[in-house]
Amino acid sequence: MPKVLISDKMDPKAAQIFRERGVEVDEITGKTPEELKAIIGQYDGLAIRSSTKVTKDILEHATNLKVVGRAGIGVDNVDIPAASAKGVVVMNTPFGNSITTAEHAIALMFALARQLPEADASTQAGKWEKNRFMGVELTSKTLGLIGAGNIGSIVADRALGLRMKVVAFDPFLTPERALEMGVEKVTLDELLARADFITLHTPLTDQTRNILSAENLAKTKKGVRIINCARGGLIDEDALKAGLDSGHIGGAALDVFKVEPAKESPLFGTPNFISTPHLGASTTEAQVNVAIQVAEQLADFLVSGGVTNALNMPSLTAEEAPKLKPYMALAEKLGSLVGQLSHGAVTGIAIEAEGAAAALNLKPITGAVLAGFMRVHSDTVNMVNAPFLAKERGLDVREVRHDREGDYHTLVRVTVTTADGERSVAGTLFGDQAPRLVELFGIKVEADLAGPMLYVVNEDAPGFIGRLGTTLGEAGVNIGTFHLGRRSAGGEAVLLLSVDEAVDAGLLGKVKALPGVKTAMGLVF
Distances from the Cα of 44 to the Cα of 1, 301, 305, angstroms: 10, 10, 13
What domains can be seen in the chain, in order of their start residue? 3-95+285-304 (3.40.50.720), 116-271 (3.40.50.720), 314-449 (3.30.1330.90), 451-524 (3.30.70.260)
With a CB cutoff of 8 Å and minimum separation 6, the contacts of 248 are 217, 218, 220, 222, 223, 224
Residue 139 in contact with residue 164, Cβ under 8 Å?
yes
Taking the C-alpha atoms of residue 272 and residue 262, their distance in angstroms, rounded to an integer, is 18
Cis peptide before 261 (omega within 30 of 0): yes
State yes or no: pLDDT of 31 exceeds 90.
yes
Distances from the Cα of 68 to the Cα of 46, 50, 57, 318, 325, angstroms: 5, 12, 15, 17, 22
State yes or no: pLDDT of 458 exceeds 80.
yes
Q: Which residue in 203, 112, 200, 105 sits closest to 158, CA to CA?
A: 105
Active-site residue 215, yes or no? no
Active-site residue 201, yes or no? no
- Among 107-111, 175-179, 212-216, 372-376, where is mean pLDDT lowest? 372-376
Choose the catalytic residue: 104, 231, 375, 483: 231
Distances from the Cα of 176 to the Cα of 143, 179, 182, 185, angstroms: 20, 5, 10, 10
Check: pTM over 0.85? Answer yes or no: no
What's the whole-number mean pLDDT along residues 467-485?
91
Active-site residue 231, yes or no? yes
The pLDDT value recorded for residue 140 is 97
Choose the catalytic residue: 260, 319, 392, 474: 260
Three-class secondary structure of residue 279 per DSSP: coil
| DSSP H or E stretch at residue 402 | strand 396-402
Helix and strand numbers (H, E) in the chain are: 17, 22
**Per residue in 408-456, pLDDT tens?**
899 999 999 988 888 899 999 987 788 999 999 888 988 888 889 999 9
If one compares 497 and 392, the residue with the highest pLDDT of the two is 497
**Per residue in 259-307, pLDDT tens?**
999 999 999 999 999 999 999 988 889 889 999 999 999 999 999 888 8
